Amino acid sequence: MENHLNQFLTYLRAEKRSSSHTLLAYERDLRQFMEFLADDFEIDEVTDVSTSAVRSWLMLLNTMDYEPRSIHRKMSSLRTFFKFLRREEICVQDPMVNVKGPKIPKRLPTYVDEKAMERLLDDFEYPEGYEGLRDKLLVTLFYETGIRLSELIGLNVNDLESRGQIKVLGKRNKERILPITQSCVTLIEESLTLRIAEVGELEKDAPLLLDENGKRLSPKFVYGKVNYYLGKVSTVQKKSPHILRHTFATHLLNNGAHLNTVKELLGHSNLSATQIYTHNSIEQLKSIHQKNHPRG
């Protein structure tokens, strides 16, 4: 079995171009599995590995208090290993077929509280000129529309619709029209006025937001800005554009918006993707109940 493991690691290194970190993780997982097979089943050939042996190992990991995500990672290592062995015609059967890992608990989306966002959008002093308008507009668009990072970067001048709406091109080139507040419209108009005064009339397909070099924003640039400004008002660990998307959805639901409405605004293809935000709303209701109910 040692020989097959070395073949597999060579394959990962040479053909898959896997990093040294990835190689170490695979080797660690597979050696742990091989030791288990030798000790508990006296198996030293990969062709003798059965589904029941794999399931026994997973049960052992569970009793050793491994986290579900760690167990799933080890399962992924085994699946990749046996897929390689079948490709090389070393194994005929795949012992990973029909093997299921433990259920992974869903992580509740992190979000910024409403008072922090109010401070950031109403009281915070942004830099002078176009830079400040752009930065405030960037944060405002994320929070007011819940758009994705790629969607914000892709916005053009002609995506500003009449009557306080903006057109967004989402996943699978699916368009949606999103409402924006008058204050957001004003920020857009003021930023465009500064650009027109500097360079003249803008092309319709010109980027709505520009970096310091007059280019369309990059993901790294946007991440840096969002991280900086959220750091001024919030202690949330992860300060990313996606956190503002979570914040948008959670605040809408906390204030009575219908789940289907939030689904359409976010551009989700099915309701299950949106339902994760209801947990945060329920937690807020529990908190209100405990604080205000006589028996809370």
Residues 159, 268 contacting (CB under 8 angstroms): no
Token pair belonging to 137: 């507009």
Sorted by where each starts, the structural domains of the chain and their CATH numbers stand as: 2-87 (1.10.150), 114-292 (1.10.443.10)
Q: What is the pLDDT of residue 269?
A: 86
Q: How far apart are CA 60 and CA 96, in angstroms?
A: 16
pLDDT under 70 in the chain at which residues? 279-296
- DSSP-H helix ranges across 88-181: 114-118, 129-145, 149-153
Q: How far apart are CA 21 and CA 260, in angstroms?
A: 42
Q: How far apart are CA 101 and CA 99, in angstroms?
A: 7
Angle at 272 between CA 263 and CA 264, to 5 degrees: 10
Token pair belonging to 208: 């709505």
What does 226-282 look like in DSSP terms, one character per residue?
HHHHHHHH---S---HHHHHHHHHHHHHHTT--HHHHHHHHT-SSGGGTTHHHHHHH
Q: Which residues are catalytic?
A: 148, 171, 242, 245, 268, 277
Q: What is the pLDDT of residue 65?
A: 87
Residues 186-215 have pLDDT tens digits of: 999 999 999 999 888 899 899 999 999 999
Neighbours of 235 (CB within 10 A): 9
Would you call 106 helix, strand, or coil by DSSP?
coil
Residues 127-149 have pLDDT tens digits of: 999 999 999 999 999 999 999 99
Q: What is the pLDDT of residue 270?
A: 87
- Listed in sequence order, the residues at least 6 apart from 115 whose beta carbon sits closer than 8 Å to its beta carbon are none
Q: How far apart are CA 188 and CA 109, in angstroms?
A: 29
Q: What is the pLDDT of residue 273?
A: 81
